A and B are shown apart, each in its own frame.
Chain A
Amino acid sequence: MHTEHPTSPRLLDAGDGGLVVELGSAISESVNRQVIALGEMLERLALPGVREVVPTYRSLLILFDPLVTDRATLSERVLALWPPRDVAGDSTGHWLVPVLYGGEHGADLDFVAREHGLTTEEVIALHSGARYRVYMIGFAPGFAYLGGLPQAIHTGRRTDPRVTTPPRSVSIGGQQTAVSPPFALPSGWHLLGQTPVRSYDPRRADKPFLFAAGNTIRFAPISAAEYHALCAAAEAGEDVAVREEHA
């Protein structure tokens, strides 16, 4: 779709210290790849006054020090990078994430199955049969928004969001799925399961965050016994997500 690839991005104001570089208005893999590529190029440039770059689904937020640089200077530098070279390819990580589906670990599995006229086994097979792309990390530390959910289990959000959901939940909302960090969080998404994997762990001092935008993830169903063994290993500080060589 040519409309997904603007000839140049929209530059929007976000106060005296913020510039939004908007590449599209909808969720699209090609737009997200450009966001990540542009973000990486900006990181590498380390422009004076740029405090941080926050890539999201379809835009980048550049936070800057207005005492050091300004919107006009930054806009010029961003437009000079356009179109970004796609670097968000195989240089990034691919992960296999074990999940215990259903029961108290995935309180909405039955609902999702009923909603689509499927068995719970079919929902698990669909959810764990796809490879997902990390579109962004946001909302809470290490919370990964994933695209690529099979259409057969696209499910609108809950009408009554939960005030709290279990840590390390794997959930679906609309056309997305997500992995929660090891905290209880409010959520309106449907809970399918729980993973022993900690997407954020401050004890991993060198790399507290497991996933980054542009990574890919597959889910592997596990038994309750495997889940508890992996939880104990994760508790002891082991990495229980498997890094895969290729997508």
Chain B
Amino acid sequence: MPGHLLIERPGLFSSLQDFGRVGYQRFGISASGAMDAVAMQAANALVGNEPGTAVIELTRLGIAAMVEGAATRFALAGADMTLAINGRPAEIWRAHALKAGDRMEIGKTMTGMRAYLAVGGGFDIAPTLGSLSTHSRSGIGGLDGRELRAGDRLPLRTGSAAPLLWLPPEHRPGNTDPFRVMLGPQDDFFSPAGIETFLGGDYRIGYKTDRMGMQLDGPRIEHAAGFNIVSDGIMNGSIQVPGSGQPIILLADRQTTGGYPKIATVIGPDLFRLGQSRPGEIVRFRRVTGEAAQAAAHAHEQMIADMIANMRAC
């Protein structure tokens, strides 16, 4: 019989996430989902899971947990959190076998924001509206709609018996290029100078940054046509600019609608890097065309396929 993962120390903000909840934005339900979906897919592939199996997203500081009742396997991928198994240092981006009674301790990350813990077979928890992703603000999904706490017991499924895998460092994702954006949908609410400011400026990530959005601090973006619109739908990566002229990038847990004009949208292939960007760091933007963004989406899929193809048996 499969066992449980007992959470002994919950970390700073640890929640179950998958690819997110699709089809319910029209009812006010936020999509949620992993902030770095590339690392989530890597962690899943390392233990032989389907790419969108729900994982634990760890933020800056990981969990301490014990396996109860059965053997399992797990892998950690994403930000470089320290990992120890039964007190001995262990590698991330690598699958590890655990037996009942084994403990994992996941520490802090010095670079990046989030790491993803996949267990073989995933967690035996019923999805809400088609997804296990947690939206803690509305109490939907995951484990009782909230982040993990000490004492939680997450039921495990039986995992794959395929070889344990490892991803060599040279195939791990990430770069420091500017974030690619497509202008719109409300770029006509900004003056040409305002758009130039946005595309040319250095923006520092503010401390009011979480799964819902990233506040940026930098050169003030000039509006041309006021800063209120009749509320409309919001994408993951939409960049809204309220009256302050300071942009906010809306992310996985964003509210579904909003009334500030959106100057641009970070393209899908670059969202995973936003999920690893820390308060205090500088972000820059680069404009791309729709055709270039579509080509980037295909290149991103290929990058993920190559990453998984480059995993080898431990």
Interface of A toward B, CB cutoff 8 Å: 12-18, 20, 22, 25-27, 39, 51-61, 63, 66-67, 70-71, 136-143, 145, 181, 183, 200, 202, 208-209, 212-213
Looking across the interface, which residue of chain B has its beta carbon closest to that of A31? B230
Tell which of B18-26, B100-108, B146-154 binds the partner: B18-26
The answer on a CB contact under 8 Å between B140 and A18 is no
Task: Report if B90 contacts A (CB, 8 A).
Answer: no
In the assembled complex, which residues on chain A have CB atoms less than 8 Å from the CB atom of B45? none
Cβ–Cβ < 8 Å partners of B138 in chain A:
140-141, 181, 183
Q: Is the CB of A16 within 8 A of B290?
A: yes
Of B29, B229, B255, B256, most buried by chain A (CB within 10 Å of CB) is B256
In the assembled complex, how far is the CB of residue B143 from the closest CB belonging to chain A, in whole angstroms?
Answer: 14
- A16→B297 contact, CB < 8 A: yes
Answer whether residue B296 sits at the interface, using C-beta atoms and an 8 A cutoff. yes
- Inter-chain contacts of B27 with A (CB < 8 A): 137, 141-142, 200, 208-209, 212
B184 partner, pick from A13, A52, A63, beta carbons under 8 A:
A13
Q: How far is the CB of B188 from chain A (nearest CB, A)?
A: 9
User: Which of A14, A51, A59, A63 has most chain B Cβ within 10 Å?
Assistant: A14
8 closest Cβ contacts across the A-B interface? A61-B233, A138-B257, A15-B265, A12-B185, A16-B293, A13-B184, A54-B233, A66-B297
Produce 1/0 per residue, B171-196, CB < 8 A to A.
00000000001111110000000000
A15–B182 contact, CB under 8 A?
yes
Residues of B within 8 A of A13 (CB): 182-185, 265, 290
Cβ–Cβ < 8 Å partners of B233 in chain A:
14, 20, 54, 56, 59-61, 138
**B69 interfacial by beta-carbon distance below 8 Å:** no
What chain A residues lie within 8 Å of B182 (beta carbons)? 13-16
Contact A52 B26 (CB under 8 A): yes
Q: How far is the CA of A25 from the CA of B230 in the complex (A)?
A: 7
Say yes or no: B297 contacts A58, CB within 8 Å: no
Task: Contact check, A20 vs B185: say whether CB atoms are below 8 A apart.
Answer: yes
